[in-house]
Amino acid sequence: MKKKRTKQIDHVRHPPFADKMPAPIYFRTEHMPARGAYPVMRHPWSEFVYSYSGITEVQAGDDLFLAPPHLGLWIPAGTEHTSFNHNETVHCSLYISRKYCKPMPDELCVVVVTPLVQAILDFLRDNPADNNQSERQRLLRVLVDQLANCQITGSYVPATSNPDLDALLQELRNDPADNRSLDQLAADFDMSKRTLMRHCQLELGMSLTEWRQRLKIVRALPLLQGGHSVESVALDLGYGTSSSFIAMFRRLTGTSPKRFVATKMPQTNEPM
């Protein structure tokens, strides 16, 4: 079983409606303060969540999904879930009636946001309007169509039900700057290097190196958006030089840390 981790929750928010959607497709943005959460919920429509800044966590059963701002989260209708953010975030929720969701997966997953989808999301944020307007609904349907064309993946930083691997991953979560080699980690957790590599591929779907780099990305974003320099973030995450951190960041996100933060900073701190 996965370990249950207690989160400090200072702010609780609730969905804008409970039983009936006010429009076939409904878009809204919200500013969430640090340590904000939504209670456990289940609704008869699907939801797409995208963070303009910060990182939103969505928990569904024992599965925890994290999505930094270049990714979104797809939550199918009827999925029991809750969400939480450690740091301040600005995110949007796109609520979608079942009849428009047929091309989308029937399981909670991460969506790799394309430049076109991001452009539409930015436009919707910057141009608030009545969701029932016919022009707005047409644009929202285009957005849903484009989501169906996006790449789908699992959790950005996946968890595991294997207790031995989970203990190792938790130690790395507690200290992302931990630079022990694969051999050292395997020895410290009483397993062979080959066994550790096999566990990672079977349980995480990726190498431990890839997992550690994704963890560093997730930890770096709030620091960068909080005004920390690239150099200080690189050192905090265990890199000897900022250039090696920038190279890793560019490989995983497709852009540099400074450019990424510049394009992801919220335009307003007020909820819409």
Mean pLDDT for 240-252 is 93
pLDDT at res. 265: 53
Mean pLDDT for 68-84 is 90
pLDDT at res. 15: 85
65 has pLDDT over 80: yes
**Domain layout of the chain by residue ranges:** 11-153, 163-264
pLDDT in tens, 134-159: 999 999 999 999 999 998 887 788 88
Long-range pairs for 231-235 at CB < 8 Å and ≥24 separation? 233/257
CA 175/CA 75 separation, integer angstroms? 30
245 has pLDDT over 50: yes
pLDDT band at 115 (very low <50, low <70, confident <90, very high): very high
Q: What are 183's two structure tokens?
A: 């051999």
Distances (CA, A) of 123 to 6, 79, 91, 129, 136: 37, 28, 14, 11, 11
Domain 163-264: give its CATH superfamily.
Answer: Homeodomain-like (1.10.10.60)
Dihedrals phi, psi of 46, to nearest 5 degrees: -85, 165
pLDDT in tens, 214-227: 999 988 987 887 78
pLDDT at res. 263: 66
pLDDT band at 6 (very low <50, low <70, confident <90, very high): low
**The CATH number of the domain covering residues in 11-153:** 2.60.120.280
